[in-house]
A and B are shown apart, each in its own frame.
Chain A
Amino acid sequence: MAKILIVDDSKTSRKILRSILEDEHHEIIGEATNGQEAIDKYKELSPDITTMDITMPVMDGLEALKSIIEYDKKAKVIMVTAAGQKTKMVDAIKYGASEFLAKPFEASQIINILNKVLNS
């Protein structure tokens, strides 16, 4: 079981992701709706894994990823992308993202990736 922080501006996406992860007995310790909130909650909650949407208002997921990795080099951040954001995916790898999850969500894909990151 992992302690997970979900970051996404879409309530629908947060709800779907939460439901899939809770079905796998993971604990959702917090949710954030933009990059700045994500940084604050990461520092407050120290999650095992953070799922981070890329396209968000106020501060996007890439900026938040950079800050979180600066704060904690061992942070495990899985970037969540709508397909097609290849350039941003390359940037995310440079900044230290652990893995990627593609929208629309598929339970099997999420579980595989989460296990991979947890075991890395």
Chain B
Amino acid sequence: MFGHYMGHYLVKKGKISQSSLDKIVKHQKSNPTKLGSIAVAEKLLTKKQADEINDLQKELDQRFGDIAVAKGYLLTEEVNYLLNKQGNHFINFVQAMSDNNVMTIEEIEQELEEYQNDGGYSQDDMEALKSGDIDRIIPLFIDPYVPYTSDCISLTIRNIIRFINNEIILNPYYKTKEYSFGNLAFQHLKGHQNIFVGLGSKGNELLSVAEPFAKEKFNTLDEDSFDAVCEFINCSNGLYASKLSEEDIHIDMLPPLFDRNKKLVSREDIFVLPILINGGIVDLIVALNCPISIE
């Protein structure tokens, strides 16, 4: 995870080439990093148990290790052993950079300092980024204290990582009362809270959501590919609605819709979180309890 943030930063600054970064990413992928794969390799879980936990993870908003412990498949000590074995994302990244002769460790340290300064990150923020733990990374890019909106955004990000692409890069959110889009898939949630959730892009970037979710190659953003984006939003919002219902907050999901070349207009703030997915920006848009018109 951290490798993507740092790698993208270095490419943008012209410090390394995209092909070098691709090589690093490939290097990191060749070593198993998923806890389930390591657990199977270490013979602490069977493949069937790991698959079962992966399936449950898609339904529940919980970590692999926590589910494995709850199911009685692993002890907490075993999870800690596996986490240790999994290694630190940051160290893996530095190792891959150095092994591939892209940068020396000293050069990386210098770049890290610049990355920290440029991003205005504190030492704690940097530790969160280095950890690769999405739950610690998300609060760096959104205000975690906005009721419902922050939770909805966080859960949608986790679902993008689970179902769409685990190599996304988050950008800081902004608030606006108008949002112009080339393409937009969205859904209204109505009930105890009225929530608008959308994924928007200027061009065809939404294909990077449609294709992995539908497991199908689309050439253009047409009705079928929009349908896939809408269905992803529907599934993700379903998980959010489920979470809210545990707090006795009930919402009903209206059928998701899509639109093109218009703008969202609201009298209240619309939250927009730009996410880099597969080289293109997809905006996650969330608005709470405010009427939104499409003009």
Which A residues are within 8 Å of any B CB, using their own CB?
9-13, 15-16, 55-57, 81-88, 102-104, 106, 108-109
Contact A109 B55 (CB under 8 A): yes
Contacting A84 at CB < 8 Å: which of B52, B163, B241, B254? B241
Contacting A106 at CB < 8 Å: which of B55, B237, B252? B55
Contact B238 A85 (CB under 8 A): yes
Contacting A104 at CB < 8 Å: which of B163, B224, B243, B244? B163
Contact B242 A12 (CB under 8 A): no
A83 to B155, CA, bound (A): 13
Q: Is B213 an interface residue (CB 8 A)?
A: yes
Q: Is B234 an interface residue (CB 8 A)?
A: yes
Contact B255 A9 (CB under 8 A): yes
A47 to B235, CA, bound (A): 27
Q: List residues of B (214-246) whose CB comes within 8 Å of A's CBs.
A: 214-216, 224, 227-228, 230-231, 234-235, 237-245
Most buried by B among A10, A13, A56, A108: A10
Contact B55 A12 (CB under 8 A): no
Contacting A10 at CB < 8 Å: which of B231, B237, B252? B231
- CB neighbours (8 Å) of A108 from chain B are 51-52, 55
- CB neighbours (8 Å) of B245 from chain A are 84, 86
Contact A84 B58 (CB under 8 A): no
A contact patch SS: mixed
Contacting A55 at CB < 8 Å: which of B234, B250, B251? B234
Q: Distance in Å from the Cβ of B260 to the closest Cβ of chain A? A: 18
Contact B238 A12 (CB under 8 A): no
A83 to B244, CA, bound (A): 11
- CB neighbours (8 Å) of A87 from chain B are 250, 252
In the complex, what residue of chain A is closest to B162 when comparing beta carbons? A104
Question: What is the total of A-B residue contacts with beta carbons within 8 Å?
Answer: 74
Contact A83 B227 (CB under 8 A): no
Contact A10 B238 (CB under 8 A): no
Most buried by B among A81, A87, A103: A103
In the complex, what residue of chain B is closest to A105 when comparing beta carbons? B235
- CB neighbours (8 Å) of A104 from chain B are 58, 163, 235
In the complex, what residue of chain A is closest to B237 when comparing beta carbons? A82
Contact A12 B214 (CB under 8 A): yes
Q: Is B276 an interface residue (CB 8 A)?
A: no
- CB neighbours (8 Å) of B244 from chain A are 84
- CB neighbours (8 Å) of B213 from chain A are 12
- CB neighbours (8 Å) of A16 from chain B are 214-215
- CB neighbours (8 Å) of B264 from chain A are none
Q: Distance in Å from the Cβ of B261 to the closest Cβ of chain A? A: 23
Q: Is B99 an interface residue (CB 8 A)?
A: no
Q: Distance in Å from the Cβ of B264 to the closest Cβ of chain A? A: 21
Q: Is B83 an interface residue (CB 8 A)?
A: no
In the complex, what residue of chain A is closest to B56 when comparing beta carbons? A106
- CB neighbours (8 Å) of A102 from chain B are 59, 238
| New contact pairs (16) apart from A16-B214, A83-B241, A88-B252, CB-CB < 8 Å | A10-B230, A11-B224, A15-B214, A16-B215, A57-B255, A82-B238, A84-B237, A84-B240, A84-B241, A84-B245, A84-B251, A86-B242, A102-B238, A103-B238, A106-B59, A109-B55
Contact B255 A56 (CB under 8 A): yes
Contact A82 B253 (CB under 8 A): yes
